[in-house]
Structure 1
Amino acid sequence: MSENNISFILTIIVLVGFIIYQGYQYYTRKKASTVLTEEEFRKGMRKAQLIDVREKNVFDGGHILGARNIPYTLFKTRMVEIRKDQPIYLYDQGRAVSARAAVKLRRAGYEDIYCLKGGYEKWTGKTKRK
């Protein structure tokens, strides 16, 4: 086998591995939480723990009224502040970070987890700035 063939085969193996990994990540994130539309999110957020996982400076620039800030970068150490007996409503700017936070919560034994579809970026409800 020539070096070109070996390089091509290795490239294919790496590419297939990457695709499998991304598929696994997608499945894990999808399974960890329920994605809610803004309307569904609004209906339940008063009875839930509303958590913004964006960084503090972004949170201070504007957040959903009633949300508390637990930045994703501090999530592992601060998720003990989240109660297991109440629903958890997560959001970030879009949805990728809140999905990762949901996976961490699910692995830690939390069950009632929801993420805002479109995140803060698409939110049209009441907001607050610090």
Structure 2
Amino acid sequence: MSDITPTELHQRQQAHENLTIIDVRETWEHEEGRIADAQNIPLNTLPDKLDDLAELKDQEIIVHCKGGGRSASAKAYLTQQGFTNVRNLVGGYQAYLAAGI
């Protein structure tokens, strides 16, 4: 699955789609600012949360971090674990903010 742009994500949020958004930044980063409805699962805790996410294996999951690096790692990891529809937010939270959203 291809990655998602901040504009596409925002449009889908505005359409009130039921999205699964995972913020893989550290908790303190998430607390400083977040994308609406994103759940915080820091990258280093992702392996411990696989059971909690198991029901989402075939559903779209959007992952993001500050700039896209950690979420690219999260996407690769989840894909290796059998998740079939993981998308990375291009440019991360910084790009989302820069887009004026």
Contact 2:59 2:84 (8 Å CA) reproduced: no
Q: Which runs of no fewer than 5 residues in structure 1 stay unpaired?
A: 1-32, 126-130
Larger Rg: 1
Q: How does 1:22-101 map to 2 (within 5 A)?
A: 34-44=2-12, 46-82=17-53, 83-101=56-74
Q: CA deviation at 1:122?
A: 1.5
Aligned length in residues: 93
Q: Which runs of no fewer than 5 residues in structure 2 stay unpaired?
A: none
Asked if 1:114 is matched to 2:82, the reply is no
Q: How well do the aligned residues superpose, as a CA RMSD in angstroms? A: 1.5
In structure 2, how many angstroms separate the alpha carbons of the residues matched to 1:75 and 1:66? 18
Normalised to the residue count of structure 1, the TM-score between the two structures is 0.65
Code of the aligned partner of 1:38: P
Q: CA deviation at 1:103?
A: 0.8
Code of the aligned partner of 1:37: T
3-state SS in 2 of match to 1:117: coil
3-state SS in 2 of match to 1:64: coil
In structure 1, how many angstroms separate the alpha carbons of the residues matched to 2:3 and 2:28? 25
Q: CA deviation at 1:63?
A: 0.5
- Sequence identity of aligned pairs in percent? 29
Normalised to the residue count of structure 2, the TM-score between the two structures is 0.83
In structure 1, how many angstroms separate the alpha carbons of the residues matched to 2:72 and 2:51? 18
Which of the pair has the greater relative contact order for Cα pairs under 8 Å at 6+ separation?
2
Of Structure 1 and Structure 2, which has the larger fraction of its residues in helix?
Answer: 1
Contact 2:21 2:62 (8 Å CA) reproduced: yes
Q: CA deviation at 1:79?
A: 2.8
List structure 1 segments (4+ residues) > 4 angstroms apart after TM superposition.
none
Contact 1:48 1:86 (8 Å CA) reproduced: no
